[in-house]
C-alpha cells in the first residue's frame, strides 16, 4: 500500500499470527484464556473473515453465551465435554480436534481455504478433499449423529458453490467491460497501480488504492463481492449462522452486487452505443454551418440567396420610381 499507516493495520495482525502470545496473551500466558472464543475475535472478525460473529450468532455461540459461565475452563479440551460441562463447542474445540485428538494444528481439516474458488469447487470429490471432509464428520459427530453431520456438510458445500457461481458470473461481466475498454476513464484517466501490482479489473489492491478512475465504481463493487460477500457467505455456512448466509449478509449481498454490476454493464454499453452513433454522424456535424455539403447549410444558402434576389429587385424598383419623379 502507498499509505504505510493503513498498511500497518494489516501487518499488526499478520506478523503475530504464528506466535504463542497471539492466543496466550502476555503477561499471564493463560491456557484458560486461550480456550475461550473471545481469544479468536481479535483476528477472526470483519468483512472478509467474520468467523467470530458467525459463531456467536449460531446455536453453538448462543449456548456458549448463555451457559459458558457455568463451564469449567480449567478442563482440557479433550475433557471439556465430559468433565468441563461444555454442552456446545467453542472455536478451539472444533478447529483443534482431529480424529479424536487435540493439537495446535488448526489447518488439517481446511477444505475451502480462506476464499472459495472454482478450482476448489471443481475438486471437492478428490481424495484430498474427501479425507478432510471425513475428518470434519468426525468432529461434528462428537455431538451430532453421523447422518446429520454429513447432511449439513453437504448442504454447506452446495451453498458455497452457489456463492462461487454467482460471483464468477459477475466476474465475466466485469472482465468483458474491461477487455472492451468500456470502464469509466479507462482510455483517459486510469493510472497504473503501484508496483509490483499490475492493472486488473476488480482486483484486491483496488480495495486499498485509488487514483483517478482506478478503480471504477463497478470494479470496487466486484472487489467487495468476491473478497467480502462471497467469503462471508461461506463463513456463515461453515459456522451454521442462517442470517449470515441468507438475508443479513451472504446471499442477499451477493445478489445486490450482481444486480449493480449488471446495471452498470447495461449503462456503460448503452453509453458506448450512443457515442458510436454520434461519431458516425460526426462528419455531417463537424462542418456545422460553414460547410456547403450539409443539408442545413444548403437550405440556408438557398434562403439567403432568395432573400438577396428579392431585396435587389426591390431596390431596383425604388430607384426607377425616383428617376420617373
The three-state secondary structure class of 141 is: coil
Structure confidence by residue, pLDDT tens digits, 120-153: 999 999 999 999 999 999 999 999 999 999 999 9
Whole-number Cα distances in Å, 297 to 43, 283, 304: 72, 14, 10
For residue 105, tell me if it sits in a domain.
no
For residue 138, tell me if it sits in a domain.
no
| CA dist., res. 10 & res. 14, Å (int) | 6
The pLDDT score that the predictor gives to residue 298 is 55
| CA dist., res. 305 & res. 113, Å (int) | 81
| Total number of domains constituting the chain | 1
The pLDDT score that the predictor gives to residue 287 is 53
The three-state secondary structure class of 276 is: helix
Q: Does pLDDT of 285 surpass 90?
A: no
For residue 298, tell me if it sits in a domain.
no
Q: Does pLDDT of 105 surpass 50?
A: yes
The pLDDT score that the predictor gives to residue 308 is 55
Whole-number Cα distances in Å, 187 to 179, 182, 234, 266, 278: 12, 8, 36, 19, 18
For residue 260, tell me if it sits in a domain.
yes
Q: Does pLDDT of 218 surpass 90?
A: yes
For residue 188, tell me if it sits in a domain.
yes
The pLDDT score that the predictor gives to residue 65 is 97
Residue 268: all three cell numbers together: 456503460
The pLDDT score that the predictor gives to residue 202 is 97
Structure confidence by residue, pLDDT tens digits, 162-199: 999 999 999 999 999 999 999 999 999 999 998 999 99
For residue 168, tell me if it sits in a domain.
yes
Average pLDDT over residues 299-314: 53
Q: At what angle do helices 127-140 and 146-179 cross, to 10 degrees?
A: 130
230 or 2, greater pLDDT:
230
For residue 12, tell me if it sits in a domain.
no
In which domain, by residue range, is 254 found? Answer: 157-286
The three-state secondary structure class of 102 is: strand
- When the pLDDT of each residue in the chain is averaged and rounded to a whole number, the result is 89
Average pLDDT over residues 58-66: 98
Q: Residue 168: give its domain's CATH number.
A: 1.20.850.10
Structure confidence by residue, pLDDT tens digits, 245-283: 999 999 999 999 999 999 999 999 999 999 999 999 987
What does the DSSP assignment read for 41-64?
HTTS-SSS--HHHHHHTSHHHHHH
112 or 325, greater pLDDT:
112
Low-confidence winner among 17-21, 86-90, 252-256 (lowest mean pLDDT): 17-21
For residue 75, tell me if it sits in a domain.
no
Amino acid at each position: 500500500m502507498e499509505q504505510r499507516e493503513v498498511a500497518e493495520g494489516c501487518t499488526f495482525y499478520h506478523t503475530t499470527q504464528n506466535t504463542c502470545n497471539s492466543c496466550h496473551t502476555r503477561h499471564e500466558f493463560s491456557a484458560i484464556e486461550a480456550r475461550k472464543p473471545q481469544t479468536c475475535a481479535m483476528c477472526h472478525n470483519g468483512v472478509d473473515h467474520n468467523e467470530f460473529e458467525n459463531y456467536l450468532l449460531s446455536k453453538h455461540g448462543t449456548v456458549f453465551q448463555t451457559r459458558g459461565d457455568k463451564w469449567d475452563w480449567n478442563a482440557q479440551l479433550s475433557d471439556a465435554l465430559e468433565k468441563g460441562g461444555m454442552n456446545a463447542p467453542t472455536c478451539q474445540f472444533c478447529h483443534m480436534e482431529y480424529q479424536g485428538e487435540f493439537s495446535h494444528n488448526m489447518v488439517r481439516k481446511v477444505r475451502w481455504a480462506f476464499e472459495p474458488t472454482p478450482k476448489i469447487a471443481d475438486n471437492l470429490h478428490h481424495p484430498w478433499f474427501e479425507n478432510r471432509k471425513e475428518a470434519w464428520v468426525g468432529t461434528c459427530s462428537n455431538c451430532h449423529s453421523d447422518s446429520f453431520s454429513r447432511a449439513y456438510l453437504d448442504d454447506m458445500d452446495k451453498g458455497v458453490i452457489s456463492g462461487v457461481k454467482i460471483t464468477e458470473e459477475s466476474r465475466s461481466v466485469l472482465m468483458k467491460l474491461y477487455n472492451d475498454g468500456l470502464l469509466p476513464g479507462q482510455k483517459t484517466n486510469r493510472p497504473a497501480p503501484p508496483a509490483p501490482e499490475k492493472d486488473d479489473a476488480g482486483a484486491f489492491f483496488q480495495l486499498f488504492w485509488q487514483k483517478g478512475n482506478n478503480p471504477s465504481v463497478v470494479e470496487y463493487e466486484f472487489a467487495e463481492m468476491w473478497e467480502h460477500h462471497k467469503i462471508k457467505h461461506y463463513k456463515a455456512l461453515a459456522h451454521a449462522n442462517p442470517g449470515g448466509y441468507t438475508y443479513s449478509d451472504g446471499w442477499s449481498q451477493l445478489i445486490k452486487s450482481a444486480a449493480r454490476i449488471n446495471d452498470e454493464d447495461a449503462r456503460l454499453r448503452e453509453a458506448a452505443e450512443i457515442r458510436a452513433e454520434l461519431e458516425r454522424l460526426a462528419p455531417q456535424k463537424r462542418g456545422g454551418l460553414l460547410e456547403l455539403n450539409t443539408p442545413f447549410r444548403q437550405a440556408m444558402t438557398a434562403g439567403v440567396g432568395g432573400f438577396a434576389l428579392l431585396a435587389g429587385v426591390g431596390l431596383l424598383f425604388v430607384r426607377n420610381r425616383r428617376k420617373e419623379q
